Amino acid sequence: MELETHSFNIKTRGNCDIIDITSQIENLIDNSGFTEGSVLVFAGGSTAGITTIEYEPGLLEDYPAFFDKIIPVNINYHHDNTWHDGNGHSHVRAAIQGASLTVPFINGSMLLGTWQQIIFMDFDNRSRNRQITVQITGNKF
């Protein structure tokens, strides 16, 4: 078994911006030559998350609406007393979503469902440049 650690950068608009990062991860697996193993996708930072969803326009409205409802922007957060940057909700959303995801692959292909994409979600309240880590572990033969 071998492992390789890669990364790539994306620009986001913040405010629950959802970015489909599936193809970037597929390309890294393709180019690495790994055939069987798993890929760990990790978001460094405390206002972002990683999960899977069907990446279609309806859910790109529904999923942010869910966060707006259960973790509203316009209530008081003690976090804002510490930093005054108005993103208390961003931190709470990121903590419940989670910063990492691991996906298995065989024959060089991730075992995702047909309508299942890997997404990066930026919960911060402003545009951000983000680095995503992709660590591939497995066999090359």
Tokens, residue 31: 């180019």
Least separation in angstroms between residue 125's CB and a second copy is: 14
Contact 21, 10 (CB under 8 A): yes
Closer residue to a second copy in complex, CB, 33/104: 104
| Contacts (CB under 8 A) with a second copy, residues 71-130 | 71, 77-83, 88, 91-92, 94-104, 106, 111-113, 115-116
Closer residue to a second copy in complex, CB, 38/125: 38
> Position 108: which residue type?
G
Neighbouring residues of 120: CB distance < 8 A, sequence distance ≥ 6: 10, 12, 18, 19, 21, 43, 48, 49, 50, 130, 132
Query: Near a second copy by CB under 8 A, which window of 8-16, 24-32, 70-78?
Result: 70-78
Query: Would you give the DSSP letter of residue 24?
Result: H
Least separation in angstroms between residue 6's CB and a second copy is: 10
Size of the site for a second copy (CB under 8 A): 59
In whole angstroms, give the CA distance from residue 2 to residue 37: 9
| Contacts (CB under 8 A) with a second copy, residues 30-69 | 36-38, 40, 42, 44-46, 51-54, 56-59, 61-63, 66, 69
Tokens, residue 22: 């599936």
Neighbouring residues of 42: CB distance < 8 A, sequence distance ≥ 6: 50, 99, 100, 132, 133, 134, 135
Chain residues that interact with a second copy, rule: CB under 8 A: 1-3, 5, 36-38, 40, 42, 44-46, 51-54, 56-59, 61-63, 66, 69-71, 77-83, 88, 91-92, 94-104, 106, 111-113, 115-116, 133, 135, 137-139
